[in-house]
Amino acid sequence: MQRLTTACAILTTAVIAGNSHDVRADGYVTPWVAVNAVNETDAGHAGFGVTTGYMGGGIFGFEADVGYAADVFGPTQFGEGYALTAMGNAILGIPIGGDHGAGVRPFVSGGLGLLRTHVDAGTLLDLSRSTNEFAYDLGGGMMGFFSQHVGMRGEVRYVRALRDTNRGSGVDFEPGRLRFWRASAGVTFR
């Protein structure tokens, strides 16, 4: 029995080694800083996060995006709060100049995930409120690479909560009132 197992292992190794060909996936990680705004009159509030993903063999891929936005809804007389996003996105990007070495890649992306908000009522009232909601995001931007492994990424992304309008009998989502824009920039490593 041990000879048969050894023979199968050698045969499997030979088939895999003899049948290999170049398969690439363009993986990347981008830590970023951002300005978040609720509307066009909002001065913006700082945020940070990380986006990681891959472009499988060219123009289509997937990414995960996690971001933190302090005081995204602005400080009020009652206190302050934050928003935390965790999104899974599909990304479509066309490499200009190839997908190796220097080049640029304009892209659009969108997906679904979680939007967690927390508001603290401050010293006036001893209240705080946190919510977890499904959300979607849509965005676009550009990745530019200076070399094979280092580049920059900039994007604008719209984040909006979804709310279940048919609680208790099925799921029926529609856009919620909670929403904001994010403009971010970061260094990309692939």
Give residue 161's pLDDT: 87
Q: Does domain 24-189 have CATH number 3.40.718.10?
A: no
Report CA 113 to chain centroid distance, whole Å.
9
pTM of the model: 0.76
Percent of the chain with pLDDT strictly greater than 70: 68
Higher pLDDT, 5 or 107: 107
Structure tokens at 110: 């969108």
Give residue 135's pLDDT: 92
Spatial CA neighbour of 162 closest among 149, 176, 152: 176
pLDDT digits (tens, 9 = 90+) for 85-115: 999 999 999 888 776 777 899 999 999 999 9
In the block, which residue shows the tokens 């995006």?
Answer: 65
Give residue 122's pLDDT: 63
Q: Where are the domains of the chain?
A: 24-189
Average pLDDT over residues 139-147: 92
Contact 155, 138 (CB under 8 A): no
Three-class DSSP labels, 167-181:
CCCCCCEEEEEEEEE
